[in-house]
């Protein structure tokens, strides 16, 4: 059974409410990346518009969606995955050789960046925090 993800506004996200009220296009309400953790929780990475960064929301089966981590990510996230201790992995699919992965703490602080390689086709994490990346051949 598939679950449809939709953006639900929280009281602390006035910026996003304002953008939608201003009649911005539906594209701004589409997540840039969606991932699923080993606990069946889905995550969505939403572009933060003019402010830059990414808002990551978590969707746990049987529970209401809630905001998880608001970051000032410098990359364009194509993949989002959960890590232990509430951390988040954001990965960009393409890179000219600069870092294309960022690990964000639950409070929105960047813990580390790294280069996973160019042409990432899929990025996954394990419950222990291992990162797997598959590249195009």
Considering the entire predicted model, what is its pTM? Answer: 0.76
Q: Where are the alpha helices (DSSP H) in 73-121?
A: none
Residues of the domain holding 89: 14-135
Total domain count for the chain?
A: 1
* 5-16 pLDDT tens trace: 344 433 334 444
Tell me whether residue 9 is in a domain.
Answer: no
Residue with token string 């929780």? 41
The 10 Å Cβ neighbour count of residue 44 is: 22
Please state, in angstroms and as integers, the Cα–Cα distance from residue 31 to each residue in 28, 44, 133, following that order: 8, 6, 20
* 56-99 pLDDT tens trace: 888 887 877 676 788 888 888 999 999 999 899 999 999 999 99
Tell me whether residue 22 is in a domain.
Answer: yes
Tell me whether residue 5 is in a domain.
Answer: no
């Amino acid at each position: 059974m598939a679950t449809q993800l939709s953006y639900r506004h929280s009281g602390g996200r006035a910026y996003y409410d304002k953008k939608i009220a201003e009649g911005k296009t539906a594209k701004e309400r589409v997540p840039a990346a969606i991932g699923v953790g080993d606990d069946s929780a889905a995550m969505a990475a939403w572009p933060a518009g003019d402010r830059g960064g990414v808002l990551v929301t978590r969707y746990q089966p049987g529970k209401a969606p809630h905001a998880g981590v608001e970051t000032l990510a410098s990359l364009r996230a194509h993949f989002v995955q959960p890590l232990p201790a509430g951390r988040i992995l954001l990965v960009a699919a393409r890179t000219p050789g600069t870092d294309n992965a960022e690990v964000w703490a639950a409070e929105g602080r960047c813990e580390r960046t790294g280069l996973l390689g160019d042409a990432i086709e899929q990025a996954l994490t394990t419950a222990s925090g291992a990162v797997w990346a598959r590249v195009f051949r």
